[in-house]
Amino acid sequence: MTYDDDRTELASALLDGTLPEEAAAAARRDPAVMARLAQLEQARDRVRDLPPAPIEARDAMLAAALDAFDTAPAESPVSDLDARRRARGQRGQAPRWLGAAAAVALVLAGVGVVAILGQRSGDQDNQASLSAADEATEAGGSGDDTSASADAEAGAAAPEVQDAPTTAATRAAPAQLGELGSFATATDLVARVRDDPLLYQALSEEADTALSGPGAATTQAACASGDLPSVLQDQANAVVALGSATVDGKAVSVWVADTPSGRRVVLVDSDCRTVANRSLE
Amino acid sequence: MAAAQDGDRSALDSLLRRHYDRWWRLSRRLTGNDADAQDALQEALILIARNIGRFDGRSAFTTWSYRVVSNACLDELRRRARRPQLDGWGPGGPGDAGAPATSSHLVADGGFAGGAAIDPRVEGLGDRIEVDAALARLPYEFRVAVVLRDLCDLDYAEIARILDIPPGTVRSRIARGRGQLADLLGNPAAEPDRPTTSP
């Protein structure tokens, strides 16, 4: 630790009033520490200077949260450490195809990450910071509280993809759209997918498949064995992007595929039912 | 709180409204712009609403809720990092991508130049943009610790519970984060340090 670090630590502790009286008195006699204290105070005051929350957004956000409350599933994400461990154990007993799906998804995610990293320029600092935060969250994520990440972990929104190559033509590794967020309706989600910049890149690639398309939306269970959604179970279709989202409080996986009738987005719920099948064009 | 846990919708509504502003402030500072803050906070509100019945009370509601909000912000930042940006002023805004955004940057781009009278709503915006840009350049571990302390006024012990790290690590991250933030605000070209991997 350098002298500057020591000075900053002392100034920070002074600011918070956590130094013992004697040490605080000694620190106050050091002009360098007091100068640093003034800098930290100024920075703190600037962090505190925020405009009030936008009122117009607040009511809509609260309404969406209350809707989620009304439709909360019987089995909510777990909220304590033991329960989380139990949940992990139960996940460990999942069918073997789920493990294979995870492995394929990891490979596809890796390809997606490499592709994205190749496209991005700059921002190395922020990326490094987020990566470090990822590690910290994963390493320290065993607390007793529910987190957004924990919710995503507990959710059933991950698309099952391991059988994709055998049931539909995947032109290349599908783009990973990740978690797309929460939407009131499937229409809102489709609009979001349509505007996704990552998907836009996928769309800009040459579409070279001319194939026969899926049928209309169906509620038939399709992925009990890890297959593609039933509407995409055709060699003619090519999955171009995968993601997950929440629609009207329900987790869905998001499949984007090239079909003979054009590019379509298919939403599949956690019971493997196709809940929407919309054109993206 | 108990009524909300028992399924009382209006009680939950009151609870969410009571805490909304402080969650908004946390979300806004962690994400660096209004749009991402709204997305993150929306996710967090839904998580809180869905899980309120399962909240076991072993920690304070504020601790739990701050944890949900800060994790939702981290998730939002990860999503943002996956999205290609057209420039440094994409969805992440000035807080995104470590862009060296300053008020002078805006003026140079024509944003506020021209000598017209400043709209009261805009007054102070340049300063806030600089703070957003400086915060965005802090490692997330430092940023969240500083914001929980300096914006939310939480003590070290509560921050430690929220972040699930020892209080000594909280103290160290706050000090280092504050120091880097002060340096960045005093000298936007400064290069922030990275946290060590061990607490």
Residue B111 is predicted with a pLDDT of 33
A14: closest chain B residue by CA: B175
Segment holding B176, helix H or strand E: helix B167-186
Instruction: Out of B34, B46, B59, name the one closest to residue A145 (CB).
Output: B59
Report residue B57: phi and psi, to 5°: 75, 5
CB A28 within 8 A of CB B194: no
- To the nearest whole Å, the CA of B111 is away from the closest chain A CA by 20
Residue A177 structure tokens: 């759209």
Q: Check A132 against B197: CB less than 8 A apart.
A: yes
Mark whether B2 and B74 lie in a shared domain: yes
Contact A191, A276 (CB under 8 A): no
Enumerate the residues of chain A whose CB falls inside 8 A of the CB of residue B77: 130, 133
- Distance between CA A240 and CA A10 in Å, rounded? 55
Cα nearest neighbour of A58 on chain B: B20
pLDDT-flagged residues of chain A (< 70):
1-3, 72-103, 109-173, 194-236, 261, 281
Clarify whether residues B76 and B135 are in a common domain.
Answer: no
Q: Tell me the C-alpha distance between A169 and A212, whole Å.
A: 12
CB distance A244 to A253 below 8 Å: yes
Amino acid type, B196 = T
Residues A11, A17, A18: CA angle, nearest 5 degrees = 90
Q: Which residues of B touch A61 (CB under 8 A)?
A: 38, 41-42, 45
pLDDT attached to residue A230: 63
Which residue on chain B is closest to A117 by alpha carbon?
Answer: B82
- Reference B53, options B63, B64, B69; nearest CA is B64
Count Cβ atoms below 10 Å from residue B35 Cβ, excluding itself: 15
pLDDT, position A251: 85
Helical (H) or strand (E) element with A27: helix A21-28
Cβ-count burial of A116 within 10 angstroms (0-12 exposed, 13-18 middle, 19+ buried)?
middle
What pLDDT tens digit does each residue of chain B (199 aa) get? 788 888 888 999 999 999 999 999 999 999 999 999 999 999 999 999 998 888 877 788 999 999 999 999 999 999 888 776 544 444 434 444 333 333 333 333 333 333 344 454 555 667 778 899 999 999 999 999 999 999 999 999 999 999 999 999 999 999 999 999 999 998 655 666 666 544 4
Taking a C-beta distance cutoff of 8 angstroms, is the pair A253, A160 a contact?
yes
A98, burial (CB in 10 Å: exposed 0-12, middle 13-18, buried 19+) = middle
Q: Are residues B76 and B10 part of one domain?
A: yes
For residue B56, the distance in angstroms to the closest alpha carbon of chain A comes to: 7
Of the candidates B80, B83, B66, B71, the one whose C-alpha atom is nearest the C-alpha of residue B32 is B80
Q: Which residue range is the domain that position B49 belongs to?
A: 1-82
Under a CB-based contact definition with an 8 Å cutoff, are residues B171 and A18 in contact?
yes
Residues of A in contact with B46 (CB under 8 A): 64-65, 68, 182, 246, 249
CA–CA min distance B115, chain A (Å):
24
Domain assignment present for residue B108? The answer is no
Q: Do A65 and B29 touch (CB under 8 A)?
A: no
Q: Are residue B63 and residue B132 in the same domain, yes or no?
A: no
Interchain proximity A65–B46, CB inside 8 Å: yes
Q: For A183, list phi and psi in degrees, rounded to 5.
A: -140, 145
Residues B61 and B8 in one domain: yes
8 Å CB contact of B25 and A40: no
**What CATH number should be reported for the domain holding residue B27?**
1.10.1740.10
Size of interface A-B (CB pairs under 8 A): 244
pLDDT of residue A130: 58
Same domain, residue pair B78 and B2: yes
Chain centroid offset of residue B193 CA: 19
Contacts of B103 (CB under 8 A, 6+ apart): B112, B125, B126, B127, B129, B130
Show residues of chain B in contact with A53, CB under 8 Å.
Answer: 20-21, 24-25, 28
Nearest residue to A235 (alpha-carbon basis) of A261, A213, A265: A213
- CATH number, domain with residue B152: 1.10.10.10
CB contact under 8 A, B150 and A78: no
The pLDDT score that the predictor gives to residue A110 is 67
Whether B53 is covered by a domain: the verdict is yes
Domain count along chain B:
2
Q: Does residue B91 sit within a domain?
A: no
Half-sphere exposure of A256 (CA within 13 A, CB side): 28
B54 within domain boundaries: yes
Q: Which of B175, B171, B177 shows the shortest CA–CA distance to B193?
A: B177
Number of helices (H), then strands (E), belonging to chain B: the values are 9, 0
Three-state secondary-structure class, residue A250? strand
Of B13, B24, B42, the CB nearest to A66: B13
CB contact under 8 A, B68 and A148: yes
CA distance A271 to chain B (A): 19
pTM of this structure: 0.54
Interface pTM, i.e. ipTM: 0.77
The CA distance from A23 to A27, in Å, is 6
Check whether residue B78 and residue B152 sit in a common domain.
no
Last residue of a domain, one of B61, B82, B103: B82
Give the whole-angstrom CA distance, residue A82 versus residue A88.
Answer: 10
Are B78 and A134 in contact (CB < 8 Å)? Answer: yes
Q: Provide the 10 A C-beta neighbour count for residue B162.
A: 28
* pLDDT of res. B23: 96
Relative to beta strand A175-183, strand A250-259 is unpaired
- Do B1 and B54 reside in the same domain of the chain? yes
Is the CB of A76 less than 8 angstroms away from the CB of B54?
yes
Contact yes or no for A126 and B74 at CB 8 A: no
Distance CA(B50)–CA(A73), nearest Å, equals 8
CB contact under 8 A, A146 and B128: no
Closest partner CB to B51 (pick from A15, A40, A146): A146
Cβ–Cβ below 8 Å for B47 and A146: yes
* DSSP label of A81: H
Please tell me the predicted confidence (pLDDT) of residue B20.
95
